[in-house]
A and B are shown apart, each in its own frame.
Chain A
Amino acid sequence: MLNPGSLTSSQPGFGRAKPLVGSTINDQRITLAHGSGGKAMRELIQNLLVPIFNNPILEALEDQATIPLGELLQHGDRLAFTTDSYVVDPLFFPGGNIGELAVNGTVNDLAVSGAHPLFLSCGLVIEEGFPLDTLTQIVRSMKHAADRAGVSIVTGDTKVVEKGSADKLFINTAGIGVIREGVSIAATKAQPGDAIITNGFIGDHGVAILLARNELALEANVQSDTQPVHDLVFHMLDVCSNIHCLRDATRGGLATVLNEFASASNVSIQIDEPHLPIRESVRGACEILGLDPLYLANEGKIVAVVPSEKARELVDAMREHPIGKDSAIIGRVKESPVGTVMLVTTFGGTRIVDTLVGDQLPRIC
C-alpha cells in the first residue's frame, strides 16, 4: 500500500519532492526495494508521492482514504465509481504523458455520467530500473492534471516488478464522483429523432501515439487531446439537463461508442461523413496508413445523444467552452436497422460502421 501506516508526513508543498536518500541499491533508478514494503518504499512514498499529490486525506497516511459523506452529498445524490488502467507506449507523446492520461481518463469516465469528479486513487506498477526523474515528472503531471480537473489523489499503491515483467510503467486510477440530482444519462436512452453531437476533432490522440512510436517515419503536427471534460459536461447539462447518452470516445473511437449506443438503445445511428470534425493531418495520416479515423482513440472527446430540439442550442453553448470550440452535430438516431451504425459518405454512398474485431491493422497496399 502507498500508505505505510504509522509514518507521518512533513507536508511539503507541490513540486518539492526530495531525492530519495539512503536507498540501498541505486538512488536514481527504481529498484525492487522500492516496492518491498521496507524503508526504500517508505522514502518513495514520503519523499515523492505524498509531497507532490499534496492533500490532507493522503497525508494522513492510513491504509485507506477517509472521505466525509457530508462533503459528497453537497454535490448530488448518487455516487459514481470507476477504474481504468493505463499502459500507453510511449509514456510521453505530443500533448501529454501517461500521468495526465491516467487522471483525465478516469475523470472523464466519471464526468460522462454527469458526475462531479472528486477523488482518485493511484496504483503504480513500475518496472525495475525505471528512472526516478521520469517517475517524478509523470507524478507531477498527474498532480497537474488533478488540479486542472479539481480532483484529489487520496490513496494509492506502489508495486515494483522485475525487469521485463512490465513495460516501464503502468498506472491504475480509480475515481469517485457524485452525480447531480435529476441527471440520468444512460446508453439505453437514445430515441429515434435524437441528434448526435461531439465536442471536436476526432482521432488526434490515436495518431499522436502512432507517430510518437516513431516506427513510421511519418511526421505530422498532431497533439494528443488529453483533457478533462467534466466542466464541458456541466456546461451542457446547464443548457440541457435531459442528455440521453454520453460517453467519452477513447479506445475504439467514435465508431465503438456509437455502436454501443445503437445496441443498448435498440436503434440505428446515422452519421454524416462531411460533418465529422477530423483534422487534415489526421485524415492524411489515416489515408497513408490505411486506418479509419472513426476507430482511432481519443482522450478528451465526448459523444452525446440529445433531443433534436435542443441540439443546435447545445452545440452553440459548447462552442463557447474552451474544449468545445469545434463541437458539431454529426448525425441522428433512426429507428432501423436496429443496432446498426451507418455512415453517409462524402461521396454520397451509405455504409455500415461496425465494431472492430481487434486493433486496426494497416493494409498491405
Chain B
Amino acid sequence: MKFVDEFRDPQKARILLQEIQGLIKRIPICGERPIWIMEVCGGHTHTIFRSGLNNMLPKEVEFIHGPGCPVCVLPRGRVDDCVDLAEREEVIMTTFGDAMRVTGSRKSLLQAKAEGADVRMVYSPLDALQLARVNRDKEVVFFGLGFETTMPSTALTILQAKQEGIKNFSIFCNHITIIPTIKAILDSPDLHLDGFLGPGHVSMVIGMEPYAFIAEYYRKPITIAGFEPLDILQSVWMVLKQLAEGRCEVENQYTRIVPPYGNSQALQAIQEVFELREFFEWRGLGSIDHSGVRVREEFSTFDAEQKFPIPNLKIADPTSCQCGEVLKGVIKPSQCKVFGTACTPQNPLGALMVSTEGACAAYYNYGWIPEEDLHPARSSV
C-alpha cells in the first residue's frame, strides 16, 4: 500500500539495526546498564508492539512506555462524571471508540450503554455536532479527550457550533497537555531515562520549540518521531547518535508532518476556546499543575461542566496499581504485582491496561515472546 509499505521496509530496518548496533558501542554507559528511551506517545507504544519492533532491537536498548495515551491516563473520577452525564435522560453522549471501555469506579461508558444510556461512538467531534443538529430535543455531549492532537478539532467544532447558534451541544472537556507531564516525569527522583521519542502528532500542532527545555535544562536528547515502524527505528537511531556524540538536542525525524513552529491555525483555535486549568488529575501520576485545559468562560454554553451539575468526585487510583512506577520506567509492566492477575484488559485496574495503546495492555496482548521462540524457523513452509 502506497505511503505505508515504504515505512515498513524490512531491508531498511535491517540496515538501521546494524547502524544501531554500531552506535551502541560508542555510548559510554553501554555495558553497565540498558539505555532507556521513553516513547512519550501511546501511538508509538502501539506501533512498537504491533510491528514486533520491541523484539528486534538489541537488548541494550529498552523502551520506557510513556504517559501519552490520553485514554489511559483519564482518572476514574472523570470517567464516573462522564457516565453520570451519559445516564441523564436528555443526553446523547458521544465519544471516540476506545474511550468507551475505560472504567470509572462504577462502570464504563460501554456498560452504561448496555444499561440503556444513549452512548454513541464518533470519529470526530463534528459527527457529534451533526447529531446535535438532527436531535434538537436532545442534549448532545462530546467526551472531549486527547492531547494537542485532538484539541484543535474540538475547538473548531465549538467555534462552528457557536457560529451556527446550536444550543444543544456541549463538550465534557478532558483535554490534556503533554509538556507539563514530561516535566513532571523528568522531575521525578526515581527517574530512569536517557532520551525521548517525542510525540509526532502533538508536535504537528505545537511544533518543536516547546521541547527545548528537555535538551537544554534536563540534558536529555529528544527526537520527534513518526508512527510507522521505520519512523520509530530511525528516531531511536537518532537519539542513540546524540547519546554517542554527547549531544542533547531537539531533533525532528517526522519532517513530513511536523513543521518546526507547529500549526498556527490549530494553535489559534486552541487558544481561542481553551484555557489552562490550575491542575489536572492523571491516572497513575496524580495531580499535575497546568496539565489540563477547560473551555473558556465565553464559550460556557458549550461546556458540559457549566451546563450540567457534575459530581466532580476525586477517586483515588487502586492502591495495588503500580502504573506510576511503570510510567517512570522504574518497573516493567510485567513486574507490577497485579499485572495479568487482578489487572487484565477485561478488567483493567490501572491506567496502562485500559487502552490498546497502554503499555500494560500492549504487554498483555502482544506479549513477551521467549527468546528461543523468537528467532528460529522464520522460513516459510
Q: Which of B1-48 contact A (CB under 8 A)?
A: 1, 4-5, 8-10, 13-14, 43, 46
Task: Bits for B55-72, please: 1 = Cβ < 8 Å to A, else 0.
Answer: 110000000000000110
Highest count of chain A CB atoms <10 Å: which of B14, B43, B150, B381 = B381
Stretch from A85-93, A177-185, A352-360 forming part of the interface with B: A352-360
Report the bound CA distance from A205 to B70 in whole Å: 31
Asked if B369 and A352 make an inter-chain contact with CB atoms under 8 angstroms apart, the answer reads yes
Report the bound CA distance from A100 to B101 in whole Å: 33
Given contacts A280-B1, A350-B374, contact A358 B101 (CB under 8 A): yes
Whether B260 is near chain A, meaning CB under 8 Å from some CB there, is no
Stretch from B92-100, B180-188, B326-334 forming part of the interface with A: B92-100
Given contacts A346-B10, A352-B366, contact A329 B56 (CB under 8 A): no
- The smallest C-beta distance from A364 to any residue of chain B, in angstroms, reads 4
Report the bound CA distance from A272 to B379 in whole Å: 9
Range, interface on chain B? 35 or more
Report the bound CA distance from A344 to B51 in whole Å: 9
Highest count of chain B CB atoms <10 Å: which of A311, A343, A350 = A350
**Which residues of A sit under 8 angstroms from B365, Cβ to Cβ?**
352, 354
Asked if A346 and B367 make an inter-chain contact with CB atoms under 8 angstroms apart, the answer reads no
**Which residues of B sit under 8 angstroms from A364, Cβ to Cβ?**
70-71, 96-99, 145-146, 150, 355
Report the bound CA distance from A337 to B369 in whole Å: 8
Given contacts A342-B373, A364-B70, contact A329 B380 (CB under 8 A): yes
Report the bound CA distance from A363 to B95 in whole Å: 11
Asked if A272 and B52 make an inter-chain contact with CB atoms under 8 angstroms apart, the answer reads no
**Which residues of B sit under 8 angstroms from A215, Cβ to Cβ?**
123, 127
CB-nearest residue of chain B to A355: B365
**Which residues of B sit under 8 angstroms from A363, Cβ to Cβ?**
43, 46, 96-98, 355-357
Whether A110 is near chain B, meaning CB under 8 Å from some CB there, is no
CB-nearest residue of chain A to B124: A217
Report the bound CA distance from A158 to B364 in whole Å: 45
**Which residues of B sit under 8 angstroms from A283, Cβ to Cβ?**
1, 4
Give A residues with C-beta under 8 Å from B. 195, 215-217, 268, 270, 272, 275, 280, 283-284, 287, 289-290, 292, 308, 311, 329, 331-332, 334, 336-337, 340, 342-352, 354, 357-358, 361-365
19 cross-chain CB contacts under 8 A: A216-B123, A287-B1, A308-B381, A332-B377, A337-B370, A344-B52, A344-B378, A346-B5, A347-B51, A347-B53, A348-B52, A349-B56, A351-B52, A357-B345, A363-B98, A364-B70, A364-B96, A365-B70, A365-B149
